Structure formats: C-alpha cells, structure tokens
Amino acid sequence: MSSIVRGARARARIEVTAAIKEEARRQLASEGAARLSLRAVARELGMVSSALYRYFPSRDDLLTALIIDAYDSLGEAAESAHARVTDAGAAPVERWVAVGEAVRAWALAHPQEYALIYGSPVPGYSAPQTTVPAAARVGLLLIGIVRDAHQGHALEVPLLTDELVPEAVRLGADLAPDLPPGAVAALVAAWAQLFGLVGFELFGQFNRVVEEREPFFRFAVTRLAQEVGLR
C-alpha cells in the first residue's frame, strides 16, 4: 500500500509542477520574464505561496526550470529534424540546413520561450551551470555535422588571420579538439549568425525588409554551411 501512496504522490507532484510551469509560461507571454512572480503564479493556480515554494523555492529556480525545458524542447526539435534527413542519406550541407530550419520553426512556434533563452537577459538572474547541457544540444549537433564532413574529407577548412589563431586554438581545445581550429572558429561564428537570423525575424528587425522569409532563411543558412567549409 505504501508504494501505491508514494506513486500517487509522485504523479501528483509531476502534475502540479507541470501546471506551475504552464502558468509561468502564460505569464512570460503576457508580462515578460522580468515580471515573473511566484505569488502571481500561485494566485492564478489557487495555491498559497508557501505551497508553491515547495516546488520552486524562488523565482530563479522556476526560471531555470523553464529555461532548461525550452532548451531541451529546441534541442529535441533540431535533433529530430537532423535524424530524419541523416537517415535518408543527406549530405552535410543538407543536414546543416535541416537543423537551421528546425531552429527557426521552433522559434516561430514558441516565441516567448525563444525570447527567454535568446532574448534580453532577465535583470537579476544568472543562469546556473545546470542549464549548460540543454543549451549545448544544437551546438553539439552542428559540431557533429562538421566532424563527419572532416572525417569524410569533405570539409574545406577556413583560413585564419594571424591575429585570430590563438583564439581559434583556444576555442578548438574547449569545444572540439579533433577539429582544425579554423573550422571551430567558423563554427562559432556561424552558430551565432544562425541565431541572429532567427532573432531578427522573430523580433521584427526584418519587417519591411525581407518579405519571403522562408527562402531567404534557407539561402542564408546554406551560406553559413559553406562558410564553415561544408561542400
């Protein structure tokens, strides 16, 4: 009987945690991350604040949970898209484009969550190390694509200026020691530009500038693949 009770309590905790997160996401959409309030979440759910604190001791704990969920959701979308084209025998450039398009599609479908992880920093909040594994999922996918191309002799390693060599070597040692430093430096630049493209579209910088967004994005993300050295 005790195992049944423990199981019921565990399920109840999962359900309440999910409800808290869902209400917090609604607040993100209406108020923004900076105004997220545990008291307001508790009020909307009909809970007393002290009960909610048993699930999330502080606003920052709740923000961290939402950030990890968002990164994981984005990572799952990118990984699924990549697996589909890879299973079909796609070339590295096609795999790169599939990941980029999955990032864009996820962002357009989840604008508030995208803003939480790639928008303006939340005042007073510093993301802990626990967010890193989820945040790294898309980057690791891109590194894997470039690694496969390098191992298959299908990577044209970008040239480096003399002043960039020390930084490229450092980046390579930290992120992908098995890749040439020039490829790693180009990867980091392309990774930043990928999310810059998505952010420009999502946050309105392309308004009255780019009208055919989907083909433009495909063109741009393909160029990024080429700049990394994928052929």
pLDDT of residue 4: 56
Residue 32: pLDDT band (50, 70, 90) is confident
Q: Do 6 and 49 reside in the same domain of the chain?
A: yes
| Predicted structure pTM score | 0.91
Same domain, 207 and 118: yes
Q: Looking at residue 31, what is its pLDDT?
A: 85
Question: According to the model, what pLDDT value does residue 219 have?
Answer: 98
127 and 137 part of one domain? yes
Which own/partner pairs from 197-203 qualify as long-range (CB within 8 Å, at least 24 positions apart)?
197/104, 197/221, 198/103, 198/104, 198/107, 198/114, 198/118, 199/118, 199/119, 201/104, 201/107, 201/108, 202/107, 202/108, 202/111, 202/114, 202/115, 203/115, 203/119
* Pair (43, 64) in one structural domain: no
Q: Indicate which CATH number applies to the domain containing 73.
A: 1.10.357.10
d(CA 194, CA 221): 7
The answer to whether residues 138 and 180 belong to one domain is yes
Domain assignment of residue 134, given as a range:
59-228
Return mean pLDDT, the chain. Answer: 94
* Average of per-residue pLDDT across 96-116: 97
Per residue in 126-143, pLDDT (tens digit) is 999 999 999 999 999 999
- Establish how many alpha carbons lie within 13 A of residue 84's alpha carbon, considering only the half-sphere containing its beta carbon: 10
Residue of 147, 106, 125 lying closest to 63 (CA atoms): 125
In this structure, are 52 and 66 located in the same domain? no
Q: Are residues 83 and 33 in the same domain?
A: no
Arithmetic mean of pLDDT, 77-105: 97
Q: Verify that 53 and 65 share a domain, yes or no.
A: no
**Is 171 in the same domain as 146?**
yes
Mean pLDDT, residues 195-221: 97
